[in-house]
Amino acid sequence: GAVVSQHPSRVICKSGTSVKIECRSLDFQATTMFWYRQFPKQSLMLMATSNEGSKATYEQGVEKDKFLINHASLTLSTLTVTSAHPEDSSFYICSARDNIRAGRMNTEAFFGQGTRLTVV
Amino acid sequence: GESVGLHLPTLSVQEGDNSIINCAYSNSASDYFIWYKQESGKGPQFIIDIRSNMDKRQGQRVTVLLNKTVKHLSLQIAATQPGDSAVYFCAENRPGAGSYQLTFGKGTKLSVIP
């Protein structure tokens, strides 16, 4: 089955530092990956759409200079939280859809296991 | 019974009973729907999906019903087990959103009483 691996699963960083989160599709290719943010007891909120070989598309209210996204290959997207502050502490989740299957019809998105970011 | 918490509705069911989790979606043009299960500290896990040209789909112990007239989606879990305890989200695929984006509902926390 399709597997999306996200790393790290947990990270604690100091205010002002940057943190990079990786999202990999292990057994399929994904032209597009998605980054979500989830606060406790709340739903997933889409932050941005990561596009292989081009710029990411950010949702309204999400600072692109704050959350840098790079999608350098068909199996890897990275999210870098720059100059992190305590209010950036959250659960970040990526997802991807299988290129080949998605080209024919709508298919489910597969999610990574999430990254718990704590900024102290 | 069902109650509404600070942000997340909660449904408590006895082990062995059937569970019904409901979801209202907002966009009448949405053409694809998915139910996800999320356990604490983990990413969402696919349960079942349904396309807008169907009104019912069955999986193993789960059934999804789609009522496009009232924009309502439900997930039925038969013989609920303790391992089913989790938060359940419905997600809709809105045409024109681009790149098959999914919009998630608020979620329902299912608690199974042994």
Report yes or no: B20 and B75 within 8 Å, Cβ to Cβ: yes
Minimal CA separation from A43 to chain B, in Å? 5
Q: How confident is the model at residue B99 (pLDDT cuts 50, 70, 90)?
A: low
Q: Which of B37, B87, B102, B109 to mutate to test the interface with A (most CBs of A within 10 A)?
A: B102
**CB within 8 Å: A109 and B49:** no
Q: Which of A43, A54, A104 to mutate to test the interface with B (most CBs of B within 10 A)?
A: A43
Which among B32, B42, B106 has the least Cβ separation from residue A114? Answer: B42
Instruction: Name the helix (H) or strand (E) containing B56.
Output: strand B56-58
Residues in contact with B59: Cβ distance below 8 Å, sequence separation at least 6, in sequence order? B47, B48
Spell out which residues of chain B touch residue A93, defining contact as CB-CB under 8 Å: 43-44
Tokens of B105: 């509902």
**pLDDT tens figures, A15-59:** 999 999 999 999 888 888 999 999 988 999 999 998 888 899 999
Residue B80 has a CB neighbour count (10 Å cut-off) of: 22
**pLDDT tens figures, A61-100:** 999 999 999 998 999 999 999 999 999 999 999 999 876 6
**CB within 8 Å: B36 and A49:** no
Q: Residue B83, SS3?
A: helix
pLDDT at A114 over 70: yes
Residues in contact with B24: Cβ distance below 8 Å, sequence separation at least 6, in sequence order? B70, B71, B72, B73, B105
Q: What is the CA radius of gyration of chain B?
A: 14
- CA–CA distance, A7 with A23 (Å, rounded to integer): 7
Report yes or no: B23 and B3 within 8 Å, Cβ to Cβ: no
